[in-house]
């Protein structure tokens, strides 16, 4: 008897139908020499700290670091899990061979191997490895079953990742909670979660601390075409105005006119991240929603395996392209021209060296039916991207014109689409491959002759520098994919994928975890950190825990473990050493803090003893030194928001609604205390502050707000 273990009941049911194992039993199907059973995701998990030592149940600083000599797994404490596990254990104990039919990825391998380890299974194992759920793919997969040992490295990587996450998460969360939380809840820290939150917080603080600056640009209109001064921005209106005065009465002369044909290749096929990015931009779907929709389409056999990080197809898929296109009847007006001749085979689409576990997400050719609108939208994006990949390039004409007025140079550019090519698949407003609307025809450029001259109309534009935009799920996913590095170029993004934060299959869950823990909220499409999230990141002093680059390096090592290029033991030894060092550093800080507090208390007692007896003064001192929470102060300008703490200033939480109130920590050469800042914001006037620098002189004075709510010195 052969036992097949699928990852969920619905998949087991499909496999049983194809293998003709039609007898339904309690927890499995049977027939034709097979027994098909299932897990439902994780049945097993790593042991809790107190499973190793009872004393580790209590959160105590002296118990850290918690590093078990050997990590173990256990069943999840759930009656349904226990029942299904016992079914699996009974079946595999009596079988001749197990066929691992789990999800064909790192997490699917880990789920199945942990179950088989708990069941003490030691007989031969085969692996079903498929990229779609069509009958044809499942049948072909069973004909070409792989040896289970071929996936030992994949399991090793999954196991190492899980243990690494346990080591860092369990130790760092307890460490920082004990030191900083002050009984106000748990500070949850994770290998991927924390650097992801740091990306969101840093972007938010960049915006909060951004100081807009005024600048001016010179443009001129010649033959109804707008030309920009190549001098760029001007910091003062006077400098720009002098040039306007100089050029307005002189003729514009064309010194260069160049037209070049250009090719725009079709966008790459979808991997999971790029699909999530596109659906967030076009439809506002969250990463988690897109993953659910694409998973549903996969289980309905309409698309290939979705949890992938490649945008390429292997060469052996090429013969299947034309048959898939023929079956896509809803897109016949687009596929018909392709099917009139052999499908082109481009290295930009087919590349065996770029294939890992699976290939890019493409349709299977199964006709979509019974879909929700959301699923239809996701399928349509995949279908159009797939068809576009085999279309000709879009041909454009790029025009550049250089003109001179006296000694000042001006430039204008324009693009005209000559042949749509792949762009016929998209409405005009959707042709930007990154999902943003763009104008296909920038400036429709007339013909210019070198040396021609004529009247022109210069103009001076006043502008303001703009802060960076808040992250959306689309831009956050891109940042996670490239370890925080901003990359628009598809080829560079492809190269960075091995160093990304997390995996395509886990990123949506990481983002959702930040929402569940109330570290981040959504404002329309934007991701905004909560005060709790900001405080957590600012509390963590160890930059390694917040480093997207370091997390990306860990991810790369896990991929190297999959390839047999890195030892999983070395990876875990490095994680253990890092955790031990982190604990030692924070413990030392904690110890020093206690010593400093004790010294301060002794010093305070000595000062009190030395003072003359005065009952009023100690009371006044106690009030002055009472800790304050500036974030509770109401914004004096809009009267609605509260204060948010940035790196250099406090600002109003209603900044999105237009309130620009901000108070810098440093005023006139003096760093304000929390009490001084709180009094200034809440009462509109600070106490007298010593050592303020005004016009080069040191003075003692109070600070207050003027009519525009800017900080000024009283008097």
Cβ atoms of 449 and 223 within 8 Å: the answer is no
Is the N-terminal amide bond of 459 cis, ω within 30° of 0? no
Name beta bridge partners: 704: 685, 712
Geometric angle at alpha carbon 331, from 329 and 335, rounded to 5°: 95
Q: Which is nearest to 159 in space by CA: 206, 119, 107? A: 107
Q: Which is nearest to 15 in space by CA: 97, 99, 119, 138? A: 138
Burial class, 407, CB count within 10 angstroms (exposed 0-12 / middle 13-18 / buried 19+) = exposed
Helices 287-299, 272-283: crossing angle, 10 deg rounding? 120
Both structure tokens of 405:
């007025």
Q: Which is nearest to 415 in space by CA: 585, 594, 263? A: 263
Identify whether 519 is a catalytic site residue.
no
Name beta bridge partners: 218: 460
Residue 292, H or E segment: helix 287-299
* Count of H-run helices and E-run strands, the chain: 22, 27
Both structure tokens of 459:
């103009």
Residue 650, H or E segment: strand 649-652
Q: How far apart are CA 282 and CA 274, in angstroms?
A: 12
Cβ atoms of 465 and 215 within 8 Å: the answer is yes
Cβ atoms of 36 and 12 within 8 Å: the answer is yes
Q: How far apart are CA 205 and CA 533, in angstroms?
A: 12
C-beta neighbour count of 631 within 10 angstroms: 15
Q: Which is nearest to 382 in space by CA: 331, 332, 342, 424? A: 331
Cβ atoms of 388 and 267 within 8 Å: the answer is yes
**Beta carbons within 8 Å of 653's beta carbon, 6+ residues apart:** 635, 641, 642, 643, 644
The one catalytic residue in 222, 293, 298, 305 is 305
Alpha-carbon distance values, 258 to 131, 412, 443, 445 (Å): 48, 11, 14, 11
Q: How far apart are CA 541 and CA 264, in angstroms?
A: 46
Q: How far apart are CA 259 and CA 399, in angstroms?
A: 4
Both structure tokens of 283:
């439809």
Q: Which is nearest to 204 in space by CA: 490, 531, 454? A: 531
Q: How far apart are CA 527 and CA 561, in angstroms?
A: 34
Q: Where are the alpha helices (DSSP H) in 497-547?
A: 504-516, 531-539, 543-546
Residue 573, H or E segment: helix 568-610
Q: How far apart are CA 306 and CA 296, in angstroms?
A: 10
Under DSSP, is residue 582 helix (H, G, I), strand (E, B) or coil? helix
What are the φ and ψ backbone dihedral angles of 304, each rounded to 5 degrees? -80, 175
Where in the sequence numbering do the catalytic residues fall?
305
């Amino acid at each position: 008897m052969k036992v097949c273990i699928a990852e969920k009941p619905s998949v087991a049911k499909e496999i049983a139908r194809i293998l003709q194992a039609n007898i339904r039993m309690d927890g499995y199907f049977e027939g034709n020499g097979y027994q098909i059973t299932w897990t439902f995701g994780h049945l097993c998990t790593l042991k809790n700290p107190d499973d190793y030592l009872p004393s580790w149940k209590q959160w105590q600083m002296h118990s850290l670091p918690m590093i078990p000599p050997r990590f173990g797994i256990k069943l999840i404490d759930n009656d349904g899990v226990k029942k299904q596990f016992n079914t699996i254990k009974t079946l595999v104990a009596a079988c001749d061979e197990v066929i691992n039919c789990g999800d064909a990825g790192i997490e699917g391998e880990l789920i199945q191997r942990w179950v088989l380890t708990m069941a003490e299974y030691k007989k031969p194992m085969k692996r079903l490895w498929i990229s779609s759920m069509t009958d044809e793919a499942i049948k072909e997969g069973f004909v070409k079953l792989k040896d289970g040992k071929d996936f030992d490295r994949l399991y090793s990587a999954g196991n190492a990742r899980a243990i690494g996450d346990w080591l860092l998460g369990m130790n760092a969360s307890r460490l920082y909670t004990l030191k900083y939380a002050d009984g106000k809840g748990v500070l949850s820290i994770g290998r991927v979660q924390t650097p992801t939150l740091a990306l969101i917080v840093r972007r938010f603080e960049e915006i909060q601390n951004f100081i807009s600056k005024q600048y001016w640009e010179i443009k001129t209109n010649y033959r109804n075409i707008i030309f920009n001064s190549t001098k760029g921005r001007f910091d003062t209106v006077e400098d720009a105005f002098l040039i306007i005065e100089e050029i307005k009465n002189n003729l514009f002369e064309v010194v260069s006119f160049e037209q070049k044909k250009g090719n725009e290749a079709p966008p790459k096929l979808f991997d999971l991240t790029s699909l999530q990015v596109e659906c967030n931009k076009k439809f506002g779907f969250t990463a988690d929603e897109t993953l659910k929709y694409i998973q549903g389409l996969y289980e309905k056999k309409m698309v290939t395996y979705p949890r992938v990080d490649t945008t390429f197809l292997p060469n052996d898929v090429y013969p299947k392209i034309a048959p898939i296109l023929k079956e896509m009847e809803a897109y016949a007006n687009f596929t018909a021209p392709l099917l009139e001749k052999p499908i082109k085979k481009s290295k930009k689409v087919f590349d065996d060296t770029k294939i890992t576990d699976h290939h890019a997400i493409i349709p299977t050719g199964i006709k979509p039916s019974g879909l929700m609108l959301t699923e239809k939208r996701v399928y349509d994006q995949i279908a159009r991207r797939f068809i576009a990949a085999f279309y000709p390039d879009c041909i454009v004409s790029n025009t550049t014109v250089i003109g001179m007025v006296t000694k000042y140079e001006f430039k204008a550019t324009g693009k005209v689409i000559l042949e749509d090519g792949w762009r016929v698949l998209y409405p005009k407003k959707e042709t930007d491959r990154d999902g943003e609307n763009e104008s296909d025809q920038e400036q429709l450029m007339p013909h210019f002759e070198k040396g021609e001259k004529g009247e022109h109309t210069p103009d001076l534009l006043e502008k303001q520098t703009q802060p960076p935009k808040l992250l959306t799920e689309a831009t956050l996913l891109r940042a996670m994919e490239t370890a925080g590095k901003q990359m628009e170029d598809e080829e560079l993004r492809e190269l960075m994928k091995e160093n990304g934060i997390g995996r395509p299959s886990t990123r949506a869950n990481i983002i959702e975890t930040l929402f569940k823990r109330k570290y981040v909220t959504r404002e329309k499409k934007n991701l905004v950190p909560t005060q709790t999230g900001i405080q957590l990141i600012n509390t963590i002093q160890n930059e390694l825990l917040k480093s997207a680059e370091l997390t990306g390096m860990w991810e790369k090592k896990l991929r190297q473990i999959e390839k047999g290029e890195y030892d999983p033991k070395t990876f875990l030894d490095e994680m253990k050493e890092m955790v031990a060092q982190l604990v030692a550093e924070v413990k030392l800080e904690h110890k020093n803090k206690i010593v400093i507090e004790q010294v301060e208390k002794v010093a305070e007692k000595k000062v009190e003893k030395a003072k003359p007896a005065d009952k009023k003064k100690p009371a006044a001192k106690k009030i002055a030194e009472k800790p304050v929470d500036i974030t509770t102060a109401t914004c004096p300008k809009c009267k609605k928001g509260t204060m948010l703490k940035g790196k250099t200033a406090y600002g109003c939480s209603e900044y999105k609604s237009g309130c620009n109130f901000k108070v810098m920590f440093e005023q006139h050469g003096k760093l304000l205390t929390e009490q001084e800042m709180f009094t200034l914001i809440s009462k509109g006037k600070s106490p007298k502050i010593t050592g303020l620098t005004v016009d080069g002189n040191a003075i003692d004075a109070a600070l207050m707000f003027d009519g525009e709510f800017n900080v000024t010195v009283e008097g």
